[in-house]
Structure 1
């Protein structure tokens, strides 16, 4: 409940929409109860009038019935429109809130969660929270408001019937939902966990389908996914059963209340203490009053799912970023672009071995240095530290004499460009992927960056040119083309520090030559750190340093 209340506070800017939806929902319920009760009275009165047993003023009740029908229809349309608008606005606010808390965690703190699990939290868990307003807050509030009005209206005619209806509404609107909450809690939580596991497995399957096919493991993976899907269905089935039983018991309670009303009213009508048409009015009014609580058992059956989803979102929102941003008032901007690592040590977890121990290195502004070493020696860690993707536990890293811990993120991103072995290209056009580096770049600037990266002629021969879609993670481009798109981004950014992480790894000789030619242009005048074991790439730097867990040895210049 604490997590749900915390998330509910995020919806405060949309309280008017939420209250408007609740008000319209109450109008719908009360109009429906009044319509059914008045219709019962009117039909019974017309029947008696037809037998000559009484007279009736026809036009007033007939007009009122038509008015209630129109009011119910209009209010129902408005209620659906407003409540869904409120829900969608609230979910949009929740997504922004979640992303704002997720972004500072990346990439270091996000290692805790699988990509598929994060996707499940962003999509399925946030979507599950539409229950919070649409199926819990609004129905419960409507039930309270309408229950009070209906019971007060019944008490005007017969206190005993009002008390009977109150007891039945309490049973159907409080006892049964709480029972559904208890019975459905485990299923709801299990449903959220099963959905997350299935989303993660499905994501892994799609991403690794090639490897699964090569290893002959597609069938095993399919069986695993099918097992997770069956687990999800079991929890869904149990939740649906709880909701169905709750609805059935609510309907039974409504019919018992109807019979109780008849038992109380018939003797009064027989004794002449109450007009006959009021029998139909009270009986149908009591039956219709259960519309106010009809949705609650199903809603509370799904409460466990909603609570589990909220807890999973808050878990990430409350996670502590591994790297903390500097105080804006204390942030500094480097005036030079030399880099210094002074006795830097870093490990990924407190109990883990050192990934980097006592590392020192100085690069003058405009100097290019290559880093070589065995796998796991800490070369990529060095690049991650200067980008503030990871936190170091000892030593100091400075740019132009300013600690990287004192440089705000926006300044650091403008200072550094990166070309890595794995360049992520979004499933968008070549132009859109390049404009990530400089959103206000003109087409001429984009083409110049492509020319410097050695891609202009190749893209000019594409049917759609700059508007060519690169496909998921750039699958419509060759490895060398994708790498040169990253280089073109770096040209557009024109940052003074350049980090190159295995930029030619996995390329054939021809693609490597093209990429290196583009990198040679890019490195001119920039302070450059190159991680590579390819001799053709290392030929572009002034000196090479070997990184080792035990010591550092200058390999040559």
Structure 2
């Protein structure tokens, strides 16, 4: 959310730099130029002023109308997401043969961008043509009026050139208006998005601190059904209490992971989920993050060191704390055997380590946090039976006074 607020704020800053400032500078330059002509030759200044006003109105209207019709940003975002997906899933795409589908989606999005670019180019062309016509009319009018005044002895020769050429400067500044108004739609969209984000933040602030005064962190599910489009789950009922973990088992696709996603606010749900008797829907996302720790089934390891990946769970953790939590998942021997120890680089997506080692690092990162509630989604994936048995017992001991919900396809 913070990243989105920053992005929208940066977009809104363009309102002054790329819209109001260029438009205002064009007006000021035009008024200054026309004032000079007014001082030298009032009759020419009046006609040039009329042309100047018409040019501003027409170019502004055409640019603003075009900007209102063009929705460039969502298409550009879609292309970015699809390219990132292609990069992340390059090997899988090649193995399973869906790389052509990803390329096709990117090409389709690019065609949409090309169509938008053509609309913008057409609008820019119309604006440039109008500007050329108005500039030509102003120059010709200025020259004819100045030549007549010179012939009558009412204007010096040097001022004929001034009155004739000054319209070129006056109207040249109007070129920026078309470019400036191309930013109108994304800026206004950013304003709407920021208003929505701030309203959401204010709403969450009003609902915060509901859990601050309770000591009972029992997590109760009553006929809970996560809401996903076109998927219907059977209702789930159960209670997790300190030293009484709730183990959720079931076949693939039965909604086990979705139940945890609903608990942390990733998915809406039907039924009731309460923490200490307080309905979860009344608790802000910020407060959930403070009181609930979760191991995602597809948790991510960053292309950094082991130490930095673990300290995401607790930024001020000491090396002793890191080694303690690594001992719970039986990784201390591996870490100490590495030349760089905790500073060993994990590599992109953890490619320097096996699936079981990566899974235990992710689990250690979650266990490093100190929250009343823990949600673990398939924490023992990639582990053999003996290792799974030993680590599960250590986790029970470490989290004996915590509320624990575990999703697993293996009996615990």
Q: TM over 0.5, yes or no?
A: yes
Aligned twin of 2:264: 387
User: Do structure 1's residue 136 and structure 2's residue 19 form an aligned pair?
Assistant: yes
Contact persistence 1:154–1:161 (CA under 8 A): yes
2:223 to 344, 361, 369: 344
Tell me the equivalent position of 1:355: 233
Could you say which residue in structure 2 is the equivalent of 1:43?
Answer: none
Distance (whole Å) between structure 1 residues aligned to residue 131 and residue 394 of structure 2 = 75
Within the alignment, does 1:534 sit opposite 2:410 as a pair? Answer: yes
Task: Name the SS for the 1:273 alignment partner.
Answer: coil
Q: Which residue of 2 aligns with 1:299?
A: 180
Deviation at 1:435, TM superposition (A): 1.6
Aligned to 1:270: 151
8 Å contact kept, 2:227–2:270: no
Alignment partner of 1:397 out of 274, 285, 288: 274
Report the counterpart of residue 175 of structure 1 in structure 2: 58
Query: Which residue does 2:44 correspond to in 1?
Result: 161
- Match runs of 1:370-449 below 5 Å: 370-395=247-272, 397-399=274-276, 401=277, 403-404=279-280, 412-449=288-325
Q: Name the SS for the 1:523 alignment partner.
A: helix
Structure 2: give runs of 5+ residues left out of the alignment: none
Q: Distance in 1 between matches of 2:371 and 2:103?
A: 46
The alignment status of 1:453 with 2:333, answered yes or no, reads no
User: Would you say the 8 A contact 1:128–1:309 is kept in 2?
Assistant: no
CA distance, structure 1, for counterparts of residue 272 and residue 338 of structure 2: 50
1:263 deviation in Å? 0.4
C-alpha change, 1:438 and 1:223, in structure 2 (3 Å) is closer
C-alpha deviation, 1:452, in angstroms: 2.9
Question: Where does residue 520 of structure 1 map in the other structure?
Answer: 393
1:296 is displaced (CA, Å) by 1.2
1:282 maps to: 163
Matching residue of 2:356: 480
**SS class of match (2:24):** helix
Report whether the alignment pairs 1:335 with 2:208: no
CA RMSD in angstroms comes to 3.6
Using a 3 Å threshold, how does the CA distance of structure 1 residues 126 and 428 change in structure 2: closer, same or farther? farther
Structure-1-length-normalised TM-score: 0.63
2:33 to 128, 150, 163: 150
Label 1:176 to 1:210 Cα distance change in 2 as closer, same or farther (>3 A): same
Change (3 A) 1:398 1:436: same
Distance in 1 of aligned mates of 2:114 and 2:368: 50
Q: 1:163 to 1:477 in 2, by over 3 A?
A: farther
Q: 1:504 to 1:248 in 2, by over 3 A?
A: same
Larger radius of gyration: 1
Please give the per-residue CA displacement for 1:419-469, whole angstroms capped at 9, x wherever unaligned.
343222233332222222211222332233223332233233445433334
Q: Secondary structure at the match of 1:362?
A: strand
Shift of 1:261: 0.8
**SS of residue in 1 equivalent to 2:254:** coil
TM-score (norm 2): 0.83
**SS of structure 1 residue aligned to 2:299:** coil
SS for the counterpart of 1:295 is helix
1:454/1:354 CA distance change after superposition, 3 Å = same
Per the alignment, residue 548 of structure 1 pairs with none
Change (3 A) 1:429 1:277: same
Call closer, same or farther: CA 1:360–1:481 in 2, change over 3 Å.
same
Alpha-carbon distance in 2 for matches of 1:530, 1:149: 73
Residue 368 of structure 2 aligns to a residue whose secondary structure is helix
1:461-480 to structure 2, matched below 5 A, reads 461-480=337-356
Unaligned ranges ≥5, structure 1 = 1-94, 101-121, 539-557
2: distance between equivalents of 1:151 and 1:96? 48
Would you say 1:225 and 2:120 are equivalent positions? no
1:91-122 CA distance string (max 9 Å, x none): xxxx958448xxxxxxxxxxxxxxxxxxxxx6
Q: Secondary structure at the match of 1:260?
A: helix
Change over 3 Å in CA distance of 1:247–1:126 after alignment to 2: farther
Q: Any idea what SS the aligned residue of 2:80 has?
A: helix
* Aligned-partner SS, 1:166: helix
- Say which is worse superposed, 290-299 or 406-415, in terms of deviation: 406-415
Cα offset for 1:481? 1.9
CA distance in 1, matches of 2:5, 2:348: 22
Q: Which deviates more from structure 2 when the two are superposed, residues 455-464 or residues 137-146?
A: 455-464
User: What secondary structure, in the 3-state scheme, does the structure 2 residue paired with 1:365 have?
Assistant: coil
